[in-house]
Chain A
Amino acid sequence: MTTIQPAVAPTIELQDVVKVYRMGNIQVNALRGVSFSVTGGEFIAIMGASGSGKSTLMNIIGCLDLPTSGRYLLDGVDVRMLNDNQLAGIRNRKIGFVFQSFNLIPRSTAIHNVEMPLIYAGLSHQRRERAMAALDAVGLADRARHQPSELSGGQQQRVAIARALVTEPAILLADEPTGNLDSESSLEILRLLVELNDDGRTIVLITHENDIAAFAKRVVRLKDGLILEDHLQEQRVEVSA
């Protein structure tokens, strides 16, 4: 396992990305030519109403799905050139996922959930220690032995963030990370994301709420599969820890 070096610009580069789904006879144009790039250390919010294509974009950025046409370069590599196993390797090492519904493995302890990407990375050395350190970083070291069902929503999401961070990926992809949380927990999670960004990690945040997007340094708005606007936020909400 090689540690990911902080990437030199641009980390994510989309060139005229089109995604077409076929649902029975209906053709859905989820993305109709999206181009933008993200450099290392950015905190970008991708916004849009439901159906705007933001989830599709997130799937493509996360290498869970491939574009129908156009190019997606991740660290300069065109992901369409990669096979299934190489894509799995990228998801494992370069990208950390945080989902709206937490997506922890049920019946597995917090520490085991956090450890799992390291297992798939083929790491056997210091696995426990690294997982523990990641849990400690999100303030849940004392909950390591708890199962997801024994944790609050905010705690579960923090475990998910620890899991996303444990392989030290350059990019953290968060898809509506606060969508299932109360405002108190939401703030905690956002604080955590801002802290991580302050440490130099690239954060891509998908959301439909302006309040949430306000924490990002840059906002990309999508509508009907196209970019409506892409601007930097000077008036970023500051989080006091």
Chain B
Amino acid sequence: MKVVEALALAISGIGANRLRSALTMLGILIGVAAVILLVAVGNGASVQVQSQIQSLGANIIYVYPATQRVGGVAQGFGGAQTLTQADVDALNDKSQAPDIVTAIPITNSFGNMVYQNQNWQASVTGTTQDFPSVRNYDIAAGSMFTGQDVNDDAKVVVIGQTVVDNLFGGDPNAAVGQLLKINRQTFRVDGVFAPKGTGAGSNQDNVAVVPINTAWAYLSGGRGKNISQINIEASDASTVTAAQNEATQVLLNRHNISDATQADFQTQSQQDIQNTAGQITGILTLLLGSIAAISLVVGGIGIMNIMLVTVTERTREIGIRKAIGARRSDILLQFLIESMFLSGFGGLFGIVVGAGVSTYLGTIASRISSSFPPPVVSIPSVLLAFGVSVGIGLFFGIYPANRAAILKPIEALRYE
């Protein structure tokens, strides 16, 4: 018997019990929709995290001071001050590190900012004029301070939108040119960064950026010319690894360390962070998907249950079919196709519902919570869910269909 005829038989069988068939499909529908929706939520979280990491700066490599070894004894992490301005200068030397576009020193401190009768606290970063290009900041108003400002210890500052909101009532243009106090020192606002939003756990708009020499001179609180990290911009994504290797080599040479495992600094590329975050969100997605998959299995058991009932109900029909020449394989095919039809269509409707709800949640995500990531439907999850639902029809359909197929014709005919 051809599949087309078996399909026609299956459809008429399903049509004979519409409500029951619909309820059976509903089980698979919910399972598939749940898988697609939850994977989409996990995926959305992943996409959001990745884009936030990306917004920290494209092609960026971070260099941190690492455990310093004194006579073979490891000192505490981050306690060391192993990075110097000379290191930065060496990294900016094209003959030593051709794939590095720019390296900037970063010194971080905390600033108490006062403007008129308003006060606010923000992270104060001392760096150079190349900070916006390396860290992906745009200037919304005014301008970035210049290299001259860095050399002159100029008391100028470029602030983020959150600072503007809290000290200047939100208007970037109103802030430019104003004088504010950071830790009792008077600074002139040269520019305002365009907002970037919350990235990787911290508010990237609650910043104040000053020339590094100024930070050392007025804000370091006597800690000297401390560099808490160096940020390196590679020419593009493909050269990040090369730039990372060059930076490592330059710094090992400068610090007279021959064994890379003994390095007193560590480098981390945007890619490293993304990989780590990707692993975490991947596990999250897998976990969500697995939970949803349980409901898919429950739906499959529902199909098996209904198919067993159907086979029992139609025992006599099976006997008639066998009497007029149906083979075992014909009967098997008829019931298998019926169960796969139920699960397949349940799966198709599940895709529609799952993708629909995901998309709807995406459009109202910002209204639910500012941190709720819009779900992103992943095509592989859709294909997988559909494939699995058809497979479930096959798996859970085989037993009932086989029971029908091996019925003895006389016993089936006698069945009342």
CB–CB B317/A105 < 8 A: yes
- Which residues of A83-102 are within 8 A (CB) of B? 84-85, 88-89, 91-93, 97, 99
**Chain A, Cβ-Cβ closest to B4:** A124
CB–CB A88/B317 < 8 A: no
CB–CB A103/B413 < 8 A: yes
> What are the residues of chain A within 8 A of B321 when measuring CB–CB?
105, 116, 120
Give Cα A104 to B323, complex, Å: 11
Give Cα A104 to B413, complex, Å: 12
Give Cα A107 to B326, complex, Å: 18
> What are the residues of chain B within 8 A of A82 when measuring CB–CB?
none
Q: Is A121 an interface residue (CB 8 A)?
A: yes
- Which residues of A43-80 are within 8 A (CB) of B? 59, 62, 64-65
Q: How many residues of A contact B (CB 8 A)?
A: 29
Give Cα A122 to B325, complex, Å: 10
Say how far B415's CB is from chain A's closest CB, in angstroms.
Answer: 11
State which of A84, A106, A116, A124 has its C-beta within 8 Å of the C-beta of B324: A116
CB–CB A117/B324 < 8 A: yes
* Binary flags per residue of B404-416, CB closer than 8 Å to A gives 1, else 0: 0000111001000
> What are the residues of chain B within 8 A of A116 when measuring CB–CB?
321, 324
Q: Is A217 an interface residue (CB 8 A)?
A: no
> What are the residues of chain A within 8 A of B320 when measuring CB–CB?
103-105
* Binary flags per residue of B325-342, CB closer than 8 Å to A gives 1, else 0: 111111000000000000
State which of B1, B326, B330, B413 has its C-beta within 8 Å of the C-beta of A64: B413
In the complex, number of A-B residue pairs with CB atoms less than 8 Å apart: 67
- Which residues of B284-331 are within 8 A (CB) of A? 316-317, 319-330
Q: Is A237 an interface residue (CB 8 A)?
A: no
Say how far B134's CB is from chain A's closest CB, in angstroms.
Answer: 72
**Chain A, Cβ-Cβ closest to B316:** A103
Give Cα A157 to B2, complex, Å: 28
Among B319, B326, B408: residue with most chain A CB under 10 A? B326
Give Cα A108 to B327, complex, Å: 20
- Which residues of A11-59 are within 8 A (CB) of B? 59
Give Cα A116 to B322, complex, Å: 11
> What are the residues of chain A within 8 A of B408 when measuring CB–CB?
65
CB–CB B322/A91 < 8 A: yes
CB–CB A84/B325 < 8 A: no
> What are the residues of chain A within 8 A of B1 when measuring CB–CB?
119-120, 122
Say how far B287's CB is from chain A's closest CB, in angstroms.
Answer: 46
Q: Is A158 an interface residue (CB 8 A)?
A: no
Give Cα A190 to B282, complex, Å: 75
With A108-B12, A119-B5, A120-B330 as given contacts, are A64 and B409 in contact (CB-CB < 8 Å)? Answer: yes
B residues bordering A, Cβ < 8 Å?
A: 1-2, 5, 12, 16, 316-317, 319-330, 408-410, 413
Q: Supply 24 A–B pairs (Cβ within 8 Å), ascending by A.
A: A84-B327, A85-B328, A88-B325, A88-B328, A88-B330, A92-B324, A97-B323, A97-B324, A99-B413, A104-B320, A105-B317, A105-B320, A105-B321, A108-B12, A116-B321, A116-B324, A117-B325, A119-B5, A120-B1, A120-B324, A120-B325, A120-B326, A124-B2, A164-B324
List 11 additional A-B contacts (Cβ < 8 Å) besides A85-B329, A122-B1: A64-B410, A65-B409, A85-B327, A85-B328, A103-B323, A106-B317, A116-B324, A120-B324, A120-B325, A121-B325, A122-B2
